[in-house]
Amino acid sequence: MPVAYASRFLTSAETRYAQIEKELLAVVFGCNRFYQYIYGKQIIVESDHQPLEAIMKKPLDKSPIRLQRMLLNLQSYDVEIKYKPGKELYLADTLSRAHLSNCKSEEETLDLEYQAISMISSLAVSDDKLREIKEETKKDGTMQALVKFINEGWPSHKDRLPKSLQPLWNYREELTEIEGVVFKRDKIFIPPSLRENVLKKIHQSHMGIERSKQRARELVFWPGINKEIESVVKNCSVCAEYRCSNQKEPMFPHEIPKYPWQIVATDMFFWNGDDYLLVVDYYSRFWEMFKVSNTKSSTIIAKMKTLFARHGVPEVVKSDNGPQYSSGEFTEFAKTWGFRHVTSSPLYPQSNGLAERTVRTAKSILTKARRDHQDPNLAILEHRNTPINDVGSPARLSMGRRLRSSMPSSTDQLLPKTVNPAIVQTRLKQKQAQQKKYYDRSSRPLEYLSEGDDVYVQHEGRWKPAIITSKAGTPRSFNIMTEDGAQYRRNRIHLRKAYDRVSQSSSPEKSTEIPSKEEIKVNSPITNEQLQYQETREVNKETLSSTGETASPVKTRSGRMIRKPTRYNDYV
């Protein structure tokens, strides 16, 4: 049996409260009326309105605006609200149906309407924009259905909501409606018709994805806003043009050679007014350099012939794309002498890293020897006799012996002593793995690109539109064509997926279809290179789609057909 009970009528303003507000108002009324019984004690309030249980566990500033005043009123009490189905609240349900008629309320009502009016007036929004939000909210059927659920109560299950409102199920306790404007806590719920304009304003300063999200979180809300912001930023052509450089990718280790002078790297460098040719062995790290009178292919070839006659013809020669290496004369030299010539990606010296590092070592030795007035050849000799990370010295790994130098040594120390190639390979792999481990800490894989993709290529600090025509012969290297018809070879780190052109080409509303040859001739003059660029886009798109459709499926034992994703067709 109850110790005491009380009830009162709702005022005209309170009758317009949302259901959750009426339920919480009942709790406030009960606590204030029975103050002398409950003050200073732990109180359990049983309610058949389940959202109240979650609301009471949230911080005050995370609650809907219209509930904050009532929750603040409850701070004087140690109250815990527990959900209990209405059919089990026997006394409360019975007494609520046996109320008195023509009874006047003597209770002071909370000024929630004043709080709501104060909130509307304090919004940093112009009257015209606020009026537009109200009008668009009133016009939109989905928004009106949302307002109805807010004011009249939400269904007991998410499935009973219209599909357009189901994404709001988890936010239902935070939504409120004030004078025709829907709020999620203190953020305005933007009607669908105004969202595109709001997204443009959010990205007006061309901030990145995270900064744009942070800006939006402070002011506005609608379901899926984060994904739409990501799409807007990715599709912004201005941001794409001036975007920062790509983050470095995980290290792609080179092949460990099996014997000396199997794989060599070469590079040119300039020091103290002279040009030099440098060749280094990947196995032993033994290097030789030659001063050359010019950088013509014929001069470089003559020096390399002398070197190969001394150490043997390598299987692979790696170099950059300098004119002396990319000439037809050097190609004929590689064919005649029987080695494979591999070039690094242009503007990416890291792919010819061993040669670049050895050039720095050679320059350092020459500079210090000159400063110390010493013979640089003696310094180079000592460098060749110095062991490399317990693997062995370059001289011993390359020639099988220690070279006699000005340092005192015994005859036994100069006798030939070969190093087991298996041990060398193991130690080189361990060193390589350690380098990769530390290098990869600050790297991440870049998005996969394939033939026919629209991309941006980094050129002189800016990103310009291009298309991938084919994969080059080396890993992470692509042949591309820019809009002016120029063709380049670039490393993956200099390419970025062009989301804006991909989304525009697939959008039926904003058509950017590639014009036909006839349209090009009629509309505006165009160069042969630009026409080739447009034709390449068409051919590559058709080829890519056709190869995707004809991918051979694999049948499992259960009979299920598994098809390989097209993005893995050219995986390296």
Is 164 found in the same domain as 206? yes
495, exposed or middle or buried, with CB in 10 Å at 0-12, 13-18, 19+? buried
- pLDDT band at residue 561 under the 50/70/90 scheme: low
| Whole-angstrom distance, CA of residue 464 vs CA of residue 458 | 6
* CATH number of the CATH domain containing 317: 3.30.420.10
CA nearest to 65, candidates 152, 146, 181 = 181
Residues 423, 325, single domain; the answer is: yes
- Check pLDDT > 50 for residue 548: no
- 112 and 127 together in one domain: no
The domain boundary residue, chosen from 82, 116, 150: 116
Task: Please identify which residue in the block is written with the tokens 């004043």.
Answer: 114
How many domains is the chain partitioned into structurally?
A: 3
Same domain, 194 and 343: no
pLDDT-derived band of residue 112, with 50, 70 and 90 as boundaries? low
Closest CA to 17 of 89, 77, 66, 81: 66
Q: What was the pLDDT predicted at 66?
A: 72
Tell me: do 298 and 365 sit in the same domain. yes
3-state helix, strand, coil in the chain (%, to 5): 50, 15, 35
Across all residues in the chain, what is the average pLDDT? 82
State the number of CA atoms in the 13 A half-sphere of 483 facing the CB.
9
| Backbone phi, psi, residue 221, to 5° | -155, 145
What value does the mean pLDDT take over residues 489-506?
75
Residues 106 and 145 in one domain: no
Q: Taking residues 259-276, report their average pLDDT.
A: 95
**End of a domain among 116, 149, 182?**
116
**Is residue 524 domain-resident?**
no
**Residue 416 within any structural domain of the chain:** yes
Residue 266: pLDDT band (50, 70, 90) is very high
Per-residue pLDDT averaged across 133-137, rounded? 91
What CA–CA distance (Å, rounded) separates 455 from 138?
A: 43
Residue 470: DSSP 8-state? E
Residues 164 and 292 both lie in one domain: no
Alpha-helix runs per DSSP H in 18-89: 19-33, 35-38, 51-55, 65-73
Q: How confident is the model at residue 104 (pLDDT cuts 50, 70, 90)?
A: low
57 & 146 share domain: no
pLDDT at position 178 is 83
Please give the residue range of the domain that contains residue 83: 14-116
Which residue would you say has higher pLDDT here, 185 or 132?
132
265, pLDDT greater than 50: yes
pLDDT of residue 473: 80
pLDDT grade, residue 13 (50/70/90)? confident
Alpha carbon of 99 to those of 8, 88, 91, 137, 289: distances in Å? Answer: 9, 19, 13, 38, 104
Q: Specify whether the CB–CB gap between 451 and 472 falls below 8 A.
A: no
| pLDDT value at residue 549 | 45
Q: What is the pLDDT of residues 40-80, one digit of tens each?
A: 889 899 888 888 888 888 888 777 777 888 888 888 888 89
Does residue 546 form part of some domain? no
In our burial notation (b when 16+ CB lie closer than 10 A, e otherwise), range 528-554 reads eebeebbebbeebbeebeeeeeeeeee
pLDDT of residue 280: 96
**φ and ψ of 558, to 5 deg:** -80, -5
User: Does position 512 have pLDDT exceeding 50, yes or no?
Assistant: no
Contact 252, 243 (CB under 8 A): no
pLDDT at 368: 95
Q: How far is it, in rounded angstroms, from Cα 495 to Cα 245?
A: 9
Per-residue DSSP letter, 216: H
Mean pLDDT of 12-22: 80
What is the torsional sign of CA 451, 453, 454, 455?
Answer: negative
pLDDT of residue 547: 47
Local confidence band at 271 (pLDDT 50, 70, 90 cut-offs): very high
In a domain, 254, yes or no: no
Residue 96, pLDDT > 80, answer no
Pair 103, 152 in one domain:
no
Domain presence at residue 414: yes
pLDDT bracket for residue 165 (50, 70, 90): very high
Q: Using 50, 70 and 90 to split pLDDT, how confident is the model at 342?
A: very high
Q: Give 293-336 pLDDT, tens digit per residue.
A: 999 999 999 999 999 999 999 999 999 989 999 999 999 999 99
| One domain, residues 63 and 132 | no
Q: Taking 50 as the threshold, does the pLDDT of residue 430 lie above it? A: yes
Residue 511's pLDDT is what?
Answer: 40
SS3 314: coil
Identify whether residues 133 and 224 lie together within a single domain: yes
Tell me if 458 is assigned to some domain: no
pLDDT at residue 392, as a whole number: 85
CATH for 143: 1.10.340.70
What is the Cα gyration radius of the chain?
Answer: 38
Query: Greater confidence, 549 or 245?
Result: 245
DSSP state of 293: S
Residue 319: φ, ψ to 5°:
-155, 175
Averaged over 403-432, what is the pLDDT? 85
- Report the Cα–Cα distance between both ends of the chain, in Å, rounded: 78
Please calculate the CA angle 256-262-266 and round it to the nearest 5 degrees.
Answer: 95
Q: Is the pLDDT of residue 370 over 50?
A: yes
Give me the pLDDT at residue 508, please.
Answer: 43
Structure confidence at residue 532 (pLDDT): 56
* Band (241; pLDDT cuts 50, 70, 90): confident
Burial of 556: CB neighbours in 10 Å, binned 0-12, 13-18, 19+? exposed
- Predicted confidence band of residue 556 (pLDDT cuts 50, 70, 90): low
Query: pTM of the entire structure?
Result: 0.59
**Percent of the chain, pLDDT > 90?**
33
Confidence of residue 252 (pLDDT cuts 50, 70, 90): confident
3-class secondary-structure state, position 120: helix
Statement to judge: residues 381 and 411 lie in one domain: yes
- Indicate the burial class of 199 (C-beta count within 10 angstroms; 0-12, 13-18, 19 or more): buried
What's the pLDDT at 523?
44
29 belongs to a structural domain: yes
pLDDT of residue 308: 96
Confidence of residue 568 (pLDDT cuts 50, 70, 90): low
* 562 lies in some domain: no
- 302 to 274, 308, 323, 377, 561: CA distances (angstroms): 18, 10, 16, 22, 58
Last residue of a domain, one of 431, 457, 479: 431
pLDDT band at 123 (very low <50, low <70, confident <90, very high): low
